[in-house]
Amino acid sequence: MKKNIVWLASYPKSGNTWFRMFLANYLKNSVTAISLEEIERTPISSDAVGFEEISGFNPFELSPDEVDLYRPEMYQYLSENEETEAGILYKKTHDAYIHNVHNIPLFPKEVTKGAVYFVRNPLDVCVSYANHATAKIERTIQFLQNEKAEIAGKKSGQLRQIMFSWKNHIKSWQQQDQIPVHIVRYEDMKQDPINTFGSIIQFLGIVYDEERLKRSIINSDFTLLQQMEQEKGFKEKPQNSKGFFREGKTGNYREHLNEEQIKQLVTYHYDTMKEFGYLDAQGNLTI
């Protein structure tokens, strides 16, 4: 089997789609920015239409656990049959790293080259995800703390994805030992894009070219993505959401969360927030 799949993994609203646009620009090596349609052509790992085309089963006529029995085989099929210019399949996923009920990993190491995992301050994730899902902040806080959290399924157009809490979503990818994982922070992508995006390019084994890197960062600028979405739309935007590319700011939670809400999230995710530098040695917020 070919090890030719790279998983672009993250909790929702953590910079995954932004990176996909950067990567598409880098791989295309175009002088001008490519369109959002370029990444719409490569469905995410939970694509229900692709599942039915490959497996022959309507996923919404199966239980989510039954669907997960077929997903490793689906990715093996894609590895063998889906052609790309660079020979690598980049698949966005919001699934936690899990095993199905037969104890088989959802993401088979036999066809996996590696994974890039995007981490973002859970306080900012909370605000952005509440807007994305048109949900109330309190409900979203509970979701980020829910160890049984799931998204999609139920004829939503996507397969069910097991999430866990924010901290345990990260740990599921961080602590598994089957797939090499390169972890980057959203905040570093914003504050030090050359080194952060460059480190991913080097991890993926793609030819590193600094001028190409700088041009691709400019061509995937967040403001530009917002403009593209306003002009032509974006298929990954939820139906009730005003826009997929909302603000992309760091520390934006300060304008939307009160002290009690911040305390709730920090208390639950304390150790992981500290590990990734969102809290200093004294437990004070750094962003």
Q: Is the pLDDT of residue 238 over 60?
A: no
Confidence class for position 232, pLDDT limits 50, 70, 90: low
Task: Pull the structure tokens for residue 109.
Answer: 């190491």
Residues 137-155 have a mean pLDDT of: 95
CATH architecture designation of domain 5-120+147-241: 3-Layer(aba) Sandwich (3.40)
HSE-up (13 A, CA, CB side) for residue 263: 3
Amino acid at residue number 285: L
pLDDT tens profile 55-106: 999 999 999 999 999 999 999 999 999 877 678 999 999 999 999 999 999 9
DSSP letters spanning 34-47: PPTHHHHTS--TTB
Cβ–Cβ under 8 Å, residues 213 and 201: yes
The structural domains of the chain, with segments of one domain joined by +, span 5-120+147-241
Burial class (CB in 10 A: 0-12, 13-18, 19+), 166: buried
Max CA pair span of the chain: 54
Alpha-helical runs (H) found in the chain: 16-28, 37-40, 48-55, 64-81, 122-132, 137-144, 166-175, 186-191, 193-203, 210-219, 222-232, 259-275
Range picked from 12-21, 220-229, 261-270 for highest mean pLDDT: 261-270
Q: Is the pLDDT of residue 133 over 90?
A: no
Q: What is the pTM of this model?
A: 0.92
